[in-house]
Amino acid sequence: MPTRKTRLTAGAAVAIAVAVAVPMLTDAQDYAPFTGGPTADDLDRLLEEPDDALVVPGREPVDEATLEAGRLVAMGGTEAGGSSMACITCHGANGQGDGSGAFPRLTGQPAWYLYKQLADYAEGSRPNRVMSGIAERMTEAEMEAVALYYAAVDAPFRPVRGEVNGLTLQWGGQLAAVGSAEQGIPACVNCHGASGSGLPPSVPYLAGQYADYMVLQLQLWKAGIRDNDAMDVMSTIADKMTEEDMRAVSEYFARVRPEEDRREGSGGAVRILEQEEPVAAPDANALLPLGD
């Protein structure tokens, strides 16, 4: 049984090794792509055979028992006496968050990525006033079960709040698709998948994540507080970004809806929401009985 750290680097290497850059905007061709930074070869040196049940390509079917165990953790019943705060209080039963941008969307994130974050909160490489205490009280089995649970559930995206000007979105889209050679910022899609839809097992989706949450994470990496990324990939990138860059790319990804595009068969092209769209967003907590 490899240690947690070994499995982590294995996951990251596998995901990044198969990353492909897919330019998304036509006018992005005016910008020279950044070609530096860690390569798949660099990451390959960390590679060990991933053997964890969590390293699954995308949204795999999960067996009923695991799903039920994960659901119980999400509702607050844990072996270690309960995390004292049910995940659904903040993240919702289906991981949608509350739309405020304070709580990240967990719905459909790769199970391995979610599990690793809980382990990192508990171990201290991703310190957070709320999540560290919760994760410290969880057992390994609970982390795995709840990670698989939130990876498996589905939920519509909440409407995007706030207005952003077109130039900001355009700059965000360029950073996402080709990065900035001038600033030494690689294209986000190199690792985060086409349209930012994620690259399991270790690279989370950004498309549809809350902008305020993503800006905060980039700031935390730049400040050296979030320090849990293999080969410092994200801290190196965040270090080169200005506040405006962080805001632009986050507002851009918050408005990308790649899944809808796939359903419409438009070949993964990105559709940016022009304005707030009403989405059927059921009360997250009403989807599962709270039990007693």
Binding site for ligand HEC (CB under 6 A): 12, 16, 37-38, 73, 83, 85, 87, 89-91, 102-104, 106, 109, 114, 116-118, 126, 128, 130-131, 134, 146, 175, 185-186, 188, 190-192, 202-204, 206, 209, 214, 216-218, 228-229, 233-234, 237, 249
List the one residue out of 119, 104, 88 whose CA is nearest residue 286: 88
If you ran DSSP here, which 8-state letter would residue 111 be given? H
Quick one: 203 or 261, whose CB is closer to ligand HEC? 203
- Quote the least distance from Cβ 242 to ligand HEC, whole Å: 12
| Torsion angle, alpha carbons of 61, 70, 93, 54, to 10 | -50
Q: Which C-beta is closer to ligand HEC: that of 126 or that of 158?
A: 126
Structure-token match 């022009």, residue found: 274
Q: CB-wise, 154 or 264, nearer to ligand HEC?
A: 154
For residue 160, the number of C-alpha atoms closer than 13 Å in the C-beta half-sphere is: 23
Compare residues 221 and 261 and give the one whose CB is closer to ligand HEC: 221
> CB of residue 89 vs ligand HEC: minimum separation in angstroms?
5
CB of 167 to ligand HEC, least distance (A): 17
Rounded to the nearest whole angstrom, what is the least distance from the CB of residue 232 to ligand HEC in the complex? 10
Distance CA 151, CA 114 (A): 8
What phi-psi label fits residue 254: left (phi over 0), alpha (psi between -120 and 50 degrees) or beta?
Answer: alpha
* Closer to ligand HEC by Cβ: residue 197 or 217: 217
Minimum distance between the CB of residue 264 and ligand HEC, rounded to whole angstroms? 25
DSSP percent split of the chain into helix, strand, coil, nearest 5: 45, 0, 50
Q: In the complex with ligand HEC, which residue's Cβ is closer, 201 or 264?
A: 201
Minimum CB separation from ligand HEC for residue 93, in Å?
Answer: 11
Quick one: how far is CA 98 from the chain centroid? 16
Q: What is the DSSP string of 47-86?
A: ------TT--SSS----HHHHHHHHHHHTT--TTS--SS-
